[in-house]
Chain A
Amino acid sequence: MLTAIWPTQWSRQQRSNATLVSALVLMVLALSLLGWALSFLPEPIGNNAQAFSEGARTTLWLTLVSGAVGIVLGTAAALARTARFIGLRWVAGFYIWVIRGTPLLVQILFVYFALPVLVPGANLPDFAAAAVALGLNVGAYNAEAIRAGLLAVPRGQTEAARALGLSRTYVFFDVVFPQAFKISLPPLVSNFVALLKDSSLAYAIGVVELTNVGNRIQSATFQPIATLTTVAVTYLLLTTLVTQVSNAIEHRFDVEGRVK
């Protein structure tokens, strides 16, 4: 835990900021130095270090883009699911039902191959198609995580805020959302880490991300152990850094000091 290494006299915010900054710096460093570090390894890794490094960058980039789409979609769908207007609840329910009930691989293939047929002109390049499919997918799971957070905020909080004369917008942004977000954060992080790994399915439509790179080198060199281990360790490195970032955020929201 990065949050635990700072001087104990630092405030919760200082420790959280320090963790956030160092985790982000580490992430940038890891990505920029990955190629260099791998180049010291023997064949078949050393001579393909650049390809691995570019694959890792594509994986992270794909995850960040679809993760951002997923947060926006998830928040919107969670709000729609809890809305007073039944039409909105129905649309959000349908979206979550379809996405959670079908395999991610099918969704990726669908966006890449079937969407251009259904909607003429929607010819997405492989990376964009993967980002859209992954974003739609993680959005549905995020929606349920955020909805759980929204429902966990006691009714009395809304009532007290409304009784003060605050508008619905302020009640949501000042009172409900901050408390709901804190509750939703751990499952959202799980979704994000899962997304990072699930982005490997973009391999199916030819996105040159980490898994794709590893598999190509593996089949060209007939050295599965070295190549796939490198792939796995790189994923582990990325997910570890992502978890540090989320720990820092969780620490910041933890006014009650309950996160150990």
Chain B
Amino acid sequence: MSTGNHYIVVDRVCKSFGAHQVLKEVSTAFNTGEVTVIIGASGSGKSTLLRAINRLEPHDSGTITIGGAQVTDDERSLQRQRSEVGMVFQQFNLFGHMSVLDNVTLAPRRIRRTPRAQANQKAMALLRRVGMQDHALKYPWQLSGGQQQRVAIARALAMEPKVMLFDEPTSALDPEMVQEVLDVMRELARGGMTMIVVTHEMGFAREVADRVMFFDQGRIAHDAPPADFFSNPANDRIRAFIGRMSG
């Protein structure tokens, strides 16, 4: 692999929760403009890797670099890195006491000191992009799960991140709401956004991913373009997993 456009580099990263080792010397790199879909059974370490990248879950050993700078506990560089890395959670995690608009404008107003009027204007543009412009003054509890997740995507985009991390963004949604969120993500990918997506949506992986990564027991067991990955499974575990997920 060339190091030319590696934006995030993960090198021999280990992480344990108590006696259970979740990540075992994981090494990989994510390139600018690339959409990587990470799949694998629950507990295989895929979400942990995502959470280690923006240090919500500090890793035990190895290094992670974002744009050449190491991810450490140093508050200042961590805040800068986090504002360049957008994150979308399984449970949406919208701020319940704020309107949709305030959810989206909070970070730019606080971190970039964007004046409120300007931040609102930009937030409305983002909300239009995710189809939520008519709900700007509502509170999260008034929205469906799919709508909340679309707002969460707009909130992450408000900091103009260079890469977006998606941690099972559709797993907590009713089936009929999954598509509206995937549509927004598809649109983002088409726009050239660098994305790392942990998901169980095989259709999305097939269609949108540049690269599919299979996690198994804390290791990257396979890493291939989607056409290869799905038509030509590398081993029986992957075959069985694809079978279960697509069934």
Contacts and interface: CB of A to CB of B under 8 A. Distances in A.
Interface of A: 154, 156-157, 159-168, 170, 174-175, 178-179, 182, 253, 255-256
Contacts of A163: 54, 56, 82, 85-87, 156
Contacts of A160: 87, 89, 93-95, 152
B56 A165 contact: no
A160 B87 CA distance: 8
Given A157-B95, A167-B75, A162 B56 contact: yes
A166 B111 contact: yes
The 3 closest A-B pairs by CB, nearest first: A165-B83, A160-B93, A165-B82
19 contacts: A157-B96, A159-B93, A160-B87, A160-B152, A162-B56, A163-B54, A163-B85, A163-B87, A163-B156, A164-B82, A164-B83, A164-B155, A165-B80, A165-B111, A166-B79, A167-B79, A255-B97, A256-B139, A256-B141
B71 to A, nearest CB: 13
Interface of B: 54, 56, 75, 79-87, 89, 91, 93-97, 106-107, 110-111, 139, 141, 152, 155-156, 159
Given A154-B93, A165-B81, 16 more contacts: A157-B93, A157-B96, A159-B89, A162-B56, A164-B82, A164-B155, A165-B111, A166-B106, A166-B107, A167-B75, A174-B106, A175-B95, A179-B95, A179-B97, A255-B139, A255-B141
Nearest to B94: A160
Contact of A164 (B75, B96, B141, B156): B156
Contacts of B80: 165
Contacts of A255: 96-97, 139, 141
A166 B56 contact: no
A157 to B, nearest CB: 6
B166 to A, nearest CB: 12
Contacts of B86: 163
Contacts of B87: 160, 163
A162 B82 CA distance: 8
A182 B111 contact: no
B155 A161 contact: no
Nearest to A175: B95
A215 B199 CA distance: 72
Nearest to B81: A165
Nearest to B102: A174
Nearest to A156: B93
A168 B75 CA distance: 9
A159 B93 CA distance: 8
Contacts of B107: 164-166
A166 B91 contact: no
Contacts of A174: 95, 106, 110
Contacts of B84: 165
B74 to A, nearest CB: 13
B89 A156 contact: yes
A127 B34 CA distance: 70
A162 B111 CA distance: 12
A164 B93 contact: no
Nearest to A163: B87
A167 B77 CA distance: 11
B162 to A, nearest CB: 12
Contacts of A154: 93
A165 B93 contact: no
Nearest to B82: A165
Contacts of B93: 154, 156-157, 159-160
Nearest to A169: B110
A182 to B, nearest CB: 7
A182 B106 contact: no
A156 B87 CA distance: 12
Contact of B110 (A166, A179, A182, A256): A166
